[in-house]
Amino acid sequence: MPSLSDLVAYCDQRTRRAAFKDAPGAFNGLQVANSGHVSKIGAAVDSGVIPFQKAAAAGIDFLIVHHGMYWDMPRPLTGPIYDRVATLIRADCALYSSHLPLDAHPELGNNALMAHQLELTPTRGWLPNEGGDIGAIASNSTDRNNLRSKLESLYPRVIAIEYGSTTPNEIAICSGSGNSALASLGATGCDTLVTGELREEHFNFAQENHLNLYLCGHYATEVHAVKALAAELSARFGLPWEFIATENPL
């Protein structure tokens, strides 16, 4: 049976954790340890009592999440925060979190995998960050009706705001929240963005700046990388893995 330290070392190396700057509270890497061995790998988008309970019920003892527990720490271990930690410890389930490294990764990353879904190949990055570009831009040769149809076949809810070119030459991809990314889109020369979510005022922004925006859900656009990393770990260490889905519509 592989050890916890084996899996953590592999994840750290594969995601380039040490090289990647993230939000101050992201705390990528091992967030909660277990007794030292792993028999089943899990993947989930979010930390939370319910995902942790589902993981425990499934016999998972190494859970990979995209959104970890420590964004606004330190916090007292009371209420739901206590319930989260207690659920993991009672189940002897370790928690490993990887945020921006798993958005940006050229093979396992959410953006790269979204491009692959759309049968596109990223040609350059955007949204530079210490450790690598967070977003991806791919060349495109089909019209936006085809793009919208593909997205609607892949995601349960797609909001299309179409004021850009009818056949965009390039498509920018930024999984999760595109709020901070949209202001830099114009400098790329690209007028079409596929992302998870935006703010209300970005409708007017799209009209005024002649953009195509496709919002596919924050959660829905960030299921890909944790699944990919879990599947790779499963193959590498000969362990079963399972995705822990939640009913998050956002």
In tens digits, what is the pLDDT along the chain, a chain of 250 residues? 899 999 999 999 999 999 999 988 899 999 999 999 999 999 999 999 999 999 999 999 999 999 999 888 788 899 999 999 999 999 999 999 999 999 999 999 999 999 999 999 999 999 999 989 999 999 999 999 999 999 999 999 999 999 999 999 999 999 999 998 998 999 999 999 999 999 999 999 999 999 999 999 999 999 999 999 999 999 999 999 999 999 999 9
Phi, psi of 222 (to 5 degrees): -120, 20
CA dihedral 48, 54, 57, 59 (to 10 degrees): -80
DSSP annotation of 214:
E
Q: Which domains does the chain have, with CATH numbers?
A: 4-103+223-242 (3.40.1390.30), 104-219 (3.40.1390.30)
Q: Could you tell me which of 173, 161, 143, 178 has the C-alpha nearest to residue 212?
A: 161
CB 173 within 8 A of CB 139: no
Identify the three-state secondary structure at position 7: helix
Which residues, at least 6 apart from 41, have a Cβ–Cβ distance to it below 8 Å? 7, 60, 62, 63, 64, 230, 233, 234, 239, 240, 241, 242
- Does the pTM surpass 0.85? The reply is yes
CB 38 within 8 A of CB 18: no
Q: Could you tell me which of 33, 86, 40 has the C-alpha nearest to residue 244?
A: 40
- Strand 159-162 and strand 170-177: the pairing is unpaired
Question: In this structure, how many other beta carbons lie within 10 angstroms of the beta carbon of residue 23?
Answer: 11
Tokens of 55: 């993981």
Identify the three-state secondary structure at position 212: strand
Bridge partners (DSSP) listed for residue 170 = 139
